[in-house]
Amino acid sequence: MRIRNFCIIAHIDHGKSTLADRFIQITNTVPDRQMKEQFLDGMELERERGITIKAKAVRMKYKCEADGEEYILNLIDTPGHVDFSYEVSRAMAACEGAILLVDASQGVEAQTLAHAHLAQSLGLKIIPVINKIDLEHANPDATEEQIWEVLRNPVEASRISAKDGRGAREVLERVIKEIPAPAGSEERPLKALVFDSFYDVYKGVIIYTRVVDGELKPGRHITLHSSGQSYKVEEVGYLKPKLEKSDCIRAGEVGYIVAGIRDIHEIKMGDTIQEKGAVIDAPLPGYKDVNPVVFAGFYPVNTTDYTGLKTALEKINLTDSSFSFQGETSKALGFGFRLGFMGLLHLDIIRERIEREFDIPLIATNPNVIYQVQAKDKQGFKGKYVEVMNPADFPYYGDIIDIKEPYVHANIIAPQAYMEGIMNLLKEKRGEHLKIEYISTTRVIVEYLLPLSEIIIDFYDKLKSISKGYASFDYEPYEYRSSDMVKIEMLLHGETVDALSFITHKTKSMTHSRQLCEKLKELIPKHMFEIAVQAQVNGKIIARETIGAQRKDVLAKCYGGDITRKRKLLEKQKEGKRKMKLMGSVEIPQEAFMSLLKISQDK
């Protein structure tokens, strides 16, 4: 079978999309007049930031120089950032091989390591490729040694420059020679893997699939294994990279299916497609569902934009079903939504898409993780562990029996010179050391267990700052552990502001509370009465700042006269302020929330 299915895996910004561009040019898949940089990255944000967010597939035809035969090459370009590792896992499930791309100037990074181990666990044939050899400070020899250390196998790496095309054709030849052909058969019952999907306004849900056995034709009835739902196939075809109709897609091929499906959530990634009524021995080993790990509240700055925000989320969810959302209300911010994301970059991308594509200014609350809370038989807890994703939903502190927080297994790769600062940072973030390993004389891999809540805010920024940008970081979920967590409630003028509540470790509650009180004192304007800004933990006030009253000069109209007249005016003002303090309410400007809660992320 003259078909090769492969993907390109690498750390972020190591040149995946550029290499895909060279392959498209070499195979003449896209005419030169239509060609542009990062051709497969169609989203404006992807092109602007120079990152791949969604995995893209393209079918290419290439005439092999070794044997003169024409081969079909199905390439899947994958993201490099840790937040989108679910995209990488499903792309690999549809392939027999992978090109492991490493930047010659930066060497092996954390995501390189994670992707390489994932490819090995799936049994993929890995072709190591060293990119950017044209740079002055490139060190391909040292990079090749690091790759051998990671793969535990001294395989010769191709040395290329994806930017000028040097060595790209040789990599294609290696793909044909080294990556095995698909092992499926057209004679067996239909079995196909769902590895992606997107929503088209006219055609409905378009499923990207890899046919393992059998064949797919329009008019046939298919069933999704996980749900048992059946549909009639209306159209099939190939990705070139635009959709191109075909009469049939056969075993070993990658293509798309249109089956009149209107709800994208009916499609589960990694699901198996089979013929309706047919019995298969076992479903295909797709990857497991990945659940959101970071949650944040999104509220429109203008309350009239609530309906528009709901529409925007529904539309974006059709193209990216990996985030979840549900309505919620806040006393301070009104009506909004609680969203679940794969990570902070994912959160930042969705927020920016809403603001750009739908012109809706947003307030994003502090991101938090899912906690498992065990409480007494109240508020629906019934003494069992219940997942809580919003600090406002935490039970009364006196009813809590135990709180578990999620931990992650983290890999950090950095030059040895910065290890002392990195170790101090990991200690500060309550990390538990596992092991240290040298991958070269100057580069070190550190493995740690870290609480997820400690790394979702500023960890990445601090790590880059300490290592002067040289450290790379990758993590995967590990387990839930019991921790001494507390809920900090912020009170303004004696009233709790639910949108400012957050969960933190008891040892850090005092520091975080003081910082937040000081910040709020700067941001909230003075009122006609004194305002107390307080932080409360388990019913006790542990930090306080006072915003002084705005004073009106009531004596300005007195040009003389008896002192008793001035005293009378001052007493009257004092009594008025006392009444105002009892009855007045504090208005928190939207700018205060935006300054305080705006997510800052290393781009």
- Same domain? For 168 and 19 the reply is yes
Q: Please check whether residue 311 lies inside any domain of the structure.
A: yes
- Cα dihedral 568, 572, 574, 575, rounded to 10, equals 130
Answer yes or no: is 280 within a domain. Answer: no
In a domain, 450, yes or no: yes
- Kindly state whether residue 388 falls inside one of the protein's structural domains: yes
Helix H or strand E segment including 168: helix 168-178
C-alpha dihedral over 412, 415, 419, 422, to 10 degrees?
-50
The predicted pLDDT at position 310 comes to 92
Exposure string over 69-94, b if 16+ CB within 10 A, otherwise e: eebbbbbbbbbbbbbbbbbbbbbbbb
Q: Is the pLDDT of residue 599 over 50?
A: no
Domain boundary among 424, 459, 482: 482
**pLDDT band, residue 66 (cuts 50/70/90):** confident
216 plus 260 within the same structural domain: yes
Instruction: Select the more confidently predicted residue: 60 or 599.
Output: 60
* pLDDT of 530 over the 50 cut: yes
The per-residue pLDDT for 390 is: 84
pLDDT band at residue 427 using 50, 70 and 90 as cut-offs: very high
Which one is predicted more confidently, 184 or 417?
A: 417
Which one has a higher pLDDT value, 470 or 435? 435
* Residue 269 shares a structural domain with residue 314: no
Counts of helices then strands in the chain (DSSP H, E): 14, 31
Overall domain count for the chain: 5
User: Beta partners for 223?
Assistant: 230, 274
CA atoms within 13 A on the CB side of 206: 18
Greater confidence (273 vs 569) lies with 273
- Say which CATH number the domain at 517 has: 3.30.70.2570
Q: Say if residue 241 is preceded by a cis peptide, omega within 30 of 0.
A: yes
Query: Residues 588, 524: contact at Cβ < 8 Å?
Result: yes
SS3 404: strand
pLDDT value for 479: 92
> Which pLDDT does position 213 carry in this prediction?
87
pLDDT at 287 over 60: no
Provide the residue type at 596 as one letter. L
Query: What pLDDT, on a 0 to 100 scale, did the predictor assign at position 422?
Result: 92
b/e map 42-65, b = 16+ CB within 10 Å: ebeebeebebbbbbbbbbbebeee
Last residue of a domain, one of 336, 364, 392: 364
Query: pLDDT higher for 322 or 170?
Result: 170
Of 242-246, 252-256, 539-543, 557-561, the least confident: 557-561
CA atoms of 290 and 334, how far apart (whole Å): 31
Evaluate whether residue 456 is within a structural domain. yes
Per-residue CA distances from 227 to 265, 457, 498 (Å): 11, 37, 39
Residue 221 counted as domain residue: yes
332 and 353 inside one domain: yes
Tell whether the model's pLDDT for residue 601 goes beyond 50: no
121 burial (CB, 10 Å; 0-12 / 13-18 / 19+) is exposed
Q: Give 80's pLDDT tier (boundaries 50, 70, 90).
A: low
Q: What is the CATH number of the domain that holds 476?
A: 3.30.70.240
Confidence band (pLDDT; 50, 70, 90) for 47? low
C-beta separation of 11 from 99 below 8 A: no
Can you give the pLDDT at residue 598? Answer: 42
pTM for the predicted model, two decimal places: 0.75
Residue 184 is assigned to a structural domain of this protein: no
Q: Does one domain contain both 414 and 318?
A: no
- The H-assigned helical ranges of 27-84 are 44-49
The whole-angstrom separation of Cα 321 and Cα 263 is 11
Q: How confident is the model at residue 565 (pLDDT cuts 50, 70, 90)?
A: confident
Are residue 268 and residue 222 in the same domain, yes or no? Answer: yes
Q: Which two tokens stand for residue 321?
A: 């079903």
pLDDT interval class at 578 (50, 70, 90): low
Using one digit for the tens of pLDDT, what is the confidence trace for 110-168? 778 878 888 888 888 999 999 989 888 888 888 888 888 888 877 888 898 888 888 88
Give the span between the Cα atoms of 509 and 596, in whole angstroms.
17
Here the CATH number for the domain that contains residue 49 is: 3.40.50.300
**100 and 55 part of one domain:** yes
Please report, for the domain that includes residue 338, its CATH number.
3.30.70.870
Token duo for residue 595: 């300054």
Are residues 465 and 495 located together in one domain of the fold? no
Query: Is 271 inside any structural domain?
Result: yes
55-69, 204-218, 546-560, range with the lowest pLDDT: 546-560
Whole-angstrom distance, CA of residue 354 vs CA of residue 360: 6
pLDDT band per the 50, 70, 90 thresholds, residue 278: confident
Q: Which residue has the tokens 């004073």?
A: 551
List Cβ neighbours of 185 (8 Å cut-off, separation of 6 or more): 213, 251
Same domain, 173 and 27: yes
pLDDT at 600: 36
Q: Per-residue pLDDT averaged across 484-513, rounded?
A: 87
Range of the domain at 497: 486-597
Does 380 lie in the same domain as 355?
A: no
Report the percent of the chain where pLDDT is more than 70: 87
Do 25 and 121 reside in the same domain of the chain? yes
pLDDT, the chain, mean = 82
Q: What is the CATH number of the domain that holds 266?
A: 2.40.30.10
pLDDT at 45: 56
Q: How confident is the model at residue 421 (pLDDT cuts 50, 70, 90)?
A: very high
Q: Can you give the pLDDT at residue 432? A: 93
Task: Give the separation between CA 336 and CA 341, rounded to whole angstroms.
Answer: 16
pLDDT of residue 39: 54
Identify the domain boundary among 482, 502, 531. 482
123, 22: one domain: yes
| Gap between the Cα atoms of 317 and 350, Å rounded | 10
